[in-house]
Amino acid sequence: QVQLVESGGGVVQPGTSLRLSCATSGFSFTTYGFHWVRQAPGKGLEWVAVIWFDGSKTFYTDSVKGRFTISRDDSQRKLYLQMNSLRVEDTAVYYCVTDGGLYNNKWFKFAFDVWGQGTMVAVSS
Amino acid sequence: SDLTQPASVSGSPGQSITISCTGTSSDVGGYNFVSWYQQHPGKAPKLLIYDVSQRPSGVSDRFTGSKSGNTASLTISGLQAADESDYYCNSYTSYNTWVFGGGTRLTVL
């Protein structure tokens, strides 16, 4: 059973740092790229970052460039999001998500297939 | 910028509704990487459609995706009470990023 479990969220002050983790199980970790997607309270979904299946490429939404870093540890089957210089507007539930998947014996990419349950990050003074 | 979706749509049980998702030639119009998600309150989103019109295993064939130019659409036929939810479209972009629509609240009357 494919499973993603986020952790590391909490309440922090503006300007501080936090590292989110996503533990995975039930699939071939190194086959997949991963995204972080966030959702502010009462708001819509916002894509945050992606890391390629082999870790060779990472991309970010403009509002987090230079502050957030996505990374992966293939030996631990974990995905991370290092968040520095946190702002009030970063307050959201953060979801770890697989990029693409396999259906009907055909791989697809660039869609968000399996989602974790999310971890809440609240930035407040 | 976010893709443009109607804030809300409604329909009666058994009817069909369509949710539009308008972008630009740099996202929806330029790639067939359009996907749709259903999100019930307090839950993680669920993938409904990928590659414009493909359904993952286990998703009802009442959900249909399509695209024309810079606008993608999600049609839900045979509306059921359980379909009442928030729906989001998403597209890959030419900037190696992804963009969501603002979301559409579906009410089943």
Nearest alpha-carbon partner for B24 in B84, B92, B105 = B92
Query: Per the CB < 8 Å rule, is A44 touching B33?
Result: no
Q: What are the pLDDT digits (tens) for B40-65?
A: 999 999 999 999 999 999 999 999 99
> For residue A3, how many other CB atoms are within 10 A of its CB?
12
- Shortest distance, CA A50 to any CA of chain B (angstroms): 8
On the question of pLDDT at B1 being above 80, the answer is no
> Mean pLDDT, 10 residues at a time, over chain A (125 residues)?
96 98 96 97 98 97 98 97 98 97 89 97 97
Residue A81 phi, psi (nearest 5): -135, 105
Helix spans in chain B (H)? none
Residue of chain B minimizing CA distance to A102? B56
- Shortest distance, CA B78 to any CA of chain A (angstroms): 25
Rounded distance between C-alpha atoms, residue A82 and residue A31, angstroms = 22
By residue count, chain A amounts to 125
